[in-house]
Amino acid sequence: MRLENSAENPGKASISTDQKRAGFFRSLSAVLKYYALKFPVRSYNLDLTQDGYTLILGAITGVLCGFGAVVFHHSIDLISDLFFYLPPELIPGFVTFFPTSIPGIVYVILVPAVGGLFVGILAHIFEKGKKGEGIPSVILAVATKGGIIKGSVALLKTAQTAISIGTGGAGGKEGPIVQIGAAIGSWFGQTLNLSSDRLKILVGCGAAAGLSAAFNAPLGGAIFTMEIILRTFNSRSLGPIIVSSVFATVISRGIIGAEPAFQIPVYDLKSNYEFLIYITLGIFAGLLAVYFVKVMFYFDDFFSKIKMPTWAKPALGGLMVGVIGLFMPGIYGFTQQSIDKSLYNQNTLELMILLFMLKPLATALTIGSGGHGGTFAPSLFTGAMLGGAVGQLANIWFPEIAAPPGAYALVGMGAVVAGTTHASLTALIMVFEMTNNYRIILPLMLTIIISTLISRTILKGSLYTIRLGNQGVGLDIYGRKTSLLKSMKLATVVEELRESVFESDNYHRVVEILRNSSFETVLVKDDSGSIKGVISYQDLRKLMFDKESESVVDFLIAGDLMKKRFPKINEEDNADNALKIMETVDMEFLPVYDQDAKFKGIVSKPKILRVYQNELFLAEKDMDMSA
């Protein structure tokens, strides 16, 4: 009888199954949380009620992403072996690197095009032709969607990127692996019905775990996630992210190997005069990073304007990459041999100059046309070629003071990455971990800062934030959607002023108001109600804790304590400008005036952010419904 009812009402049976599955996962979440919180508190008397559960979820995410990174790594190797490392006995005289026969030349040019065609078709079927690098997509999901990423993204990106890079695409594997890891973390968090805050942390755990496993750099992966993905450093997020990175790296090292991503000799700082060479390298690295970013977005626009089916564009980009790869196979994304040769000074000066000019071009052709891959690894590659070239020239011109060229290649890697990502700390830690070399940390730090400064001066943002801005989703340094904030007029979020003091109020009255206030600043009015100044806790601290001032505080009034110059804002202005002013002057609210300079109330940071979150939710809901 039950079978008949199910057959007659398949929709009802499906709903029942979904409800049972959701109930199971809620029960699983409750069990995990119970044991995660109960055991540490009873055994060690530690207060882990808030973070113990998240730490365990971070560890599980790390294990899942570690295995995901291994599958991703072997997928790329499998496809590249299939297309580029054919057994010599299969076709006598046929080679895929520097071919001399006509069939070999045609084959090498067409392989990236065929790979691009497959990627384009997959994107057309499953993603409606969307293109772009993975890291900006993760940043956007964290900033505007509460960390929600479809679980199917992990499988789709693994297939697309393995095909794209394995067939000769010039993108890097870090962007997709970050997106794959983030998708795994988001899927796991959504399965357990976690809150938005915890879901974002698990997305960060997945991103860090994927990058850590891919590059064998657990600390670098964690710092990358905090600096670029989550854009915040706090203990609640950092703990689970580090745990996730460690577990993922352990899995990766156990299966793939524990060696650093790049094997290099040990380099030392030969002379203090070398810093002049490193300063020069930092300047060139900053300019090269700008070139890298400009080329990327030029070809983004170029392929967007071409009138041809979207699914065919990656094939065209692959064809162009194939032509470059015919003469410069070092630009392929599946091999890092050119970096290793630069670190050991085994490349010629002419070759390295060509490679640091052509690698950004090949990467832009791959990603701009709709192929898959990241820009972090190509930035490392470009920096290694630049550094190696500068090192060789330094050894020709200044042999007495210059270190081996490989040292400059190592420093150049970090400098160009910092210039393209504007993430100096990430570049420093990642290069250190991937090379396991601490000897030249001082020139590395100096060069990274110079490169970042030059890039920030010329560009309006990093490679990731500019891409989001071009998509109409600009983010500020805290990951907030600036377009939405700019659309919020302050007149809609003005609050009534509930707490203030008069100029004639004494010191003790001012302290009492501040102690009971929800803000650390209070406005000062005159008898007519006009705002005359502001007083903050910071202004009173010296008086409160200075014994010499105790004798005069009874004679002070608010008019003596206030600052007469203070920021104010017009009600027609927007929330984005208001937040910038508040964060610049370290205030939680601003007095608001109308066009006639009449005081209308205050606008506070908590109120703006609360309305912003509501508007963000409604905007994303409308977007999902329209999709």
| Per-residue pLDDT at 383 exceeds 90 | yes
Structure tokens at 48: 């882990």
Range with the lowest mean pLDDT among 6-10, 69-73, 494-498?
6-10
In the chain, the percentage of residues whose pLDDT exceeds 70 is: 82
Q: Higher pLDDT residue, 352 or 16?
A: 352
Distance CA 383, CA 379 (A): 6
Instruction: Note the pLDDT of residue 124.
Output: 85
Instruction: Note the pLDDT of residue 63.
Output: 92
Highest mean pLDDT among 171-180, 264-273, 348-357, 564-573: 348-357
Instruction: Note the pLDDT of residue 11.
Output: 45
* Residues pairing with 534 in the sheet: 523, 563
Task: Tally helices (H) and strands (E) across the chain.
Answer: 25, 6
Phi-psi region of 149 (alpha: psi -120 to 50; beta: other; left: phi over 0): beta
| Per-residue pLDDT at 241 exceeds 80 | yes
Instruction: Note the pLDDT of residue 260.
Output: 65
In the chain, the percentage of residues whose pLDDT exceeds 90 is: 22
Instruction: Note the pLDDT of residue 446.
Output: 92
* Residues pairing with 218 in the sheet: none
Residue 122 burial (CB count, 10 A): 18
Q: How much is the average pLDDT of 486-493?
A: 85
pLDDT-based confidence at 134, cuts 50/70/90? confident
Q: Higher pLDDT residue, 62 or 337?
A: 62
Structure confidence by residue, pLDDT tens digits, 195-221: 888 888 899 999 999 888 888 888 888
Q: pTM for the complete prediction?
A: 0.77
Structure confidence by residue, pLDDT tens digits, 557-597: 878 788 888 888 888 888 888 888 888 888 888 888 888 88
Amino acid at 313: K
Instruction: Note the pLDDT of residue 365.
Output: 94
Instruction: Note the pLDDT of residue 112.
Output: 92
Q: How much is the average pLDDT of 422-448?
A: 83
Structure confidence by residue, pLDDT tens digits, 62-87: 999 999 889 988 899 899 888 888 76
Query: Helices 405-421 & 463-470, crossing angle to 10 degrees?
Result: 30
Instruction: Note the pLDDT of residue 10.
Output: 43
* Residues pairing with 531 in the sheet: 525
Q: What is the mean pLDDT of the chain?
A: 81
The domain locations on the chain are 2-44, 488-626
In CATH, which of 3.90.1150.10, 3.30.365.10, 3.10.580.10, 1.10.340.30 is domain 488-626?
Answer: 3.10.580.10
Pick from 182, 168, 248: nearest CA to 215: 248
Instruction: Note the pLDDT of residue 23.
Output: 58
Between CA 223 and CA 242, with CA 259 as vertex, the angle to 5 degrees is: 25
Instruction: Note the pLDDT of residue 4.
Output: 40
SS3 content of the chain, % helix, strand, coil (to 5): 70, 5, 25
Residue 429 burial (CB count, 10 A): 20
> DSSP secondary structure string, 422-487?
--HHHHHHHHHHHHT--TTHHHHHHHHHHHHHHHHHHSSS-HHHHHHHHTT--B-TTS-BHHHHHH
* Count of alpha carbons within 13 angstroms of residue 311, beta-carbon side: 10
Instruction: Note the pLDDT of residue 412.
Output: 93
Instruction: Note the pLDDT of residue 42.
Output: 41
CB-based contact 420:456 (threshold 8 Å): no
Structure tokens at 258: 């524990």
| Per-residue pLDDT at 168 exceeds 70 | yes
CB-based contact 356:387 (threshold 8 Å): no
Instruction: Note the pLDDT of residue 39.
Output: 45
Pick from 342, 362, 332, 309: nearest CA to 98: 332
pLDDT-based confidence at 141, cuts 50/70/90? confident
Structure confidence by residue, pLDDT tens digits, 248-302: 999 988 888 767 666 676 666 777 888 899 999 999 999 999 999 999 999 988 9
Instruction: Note the pLDDT of residue 3.
Output: 39
Instruction: Note the pLDDT of residue 8.
Output: 45
Q: Higher pLDDT residue, 279 or 52?
A: 279
Distance CA 358, CA 354 (A): 6
Distance CA 536, CA 587 (A): 9
| Per-residue pLDDT at 26 exceeds 70 | no
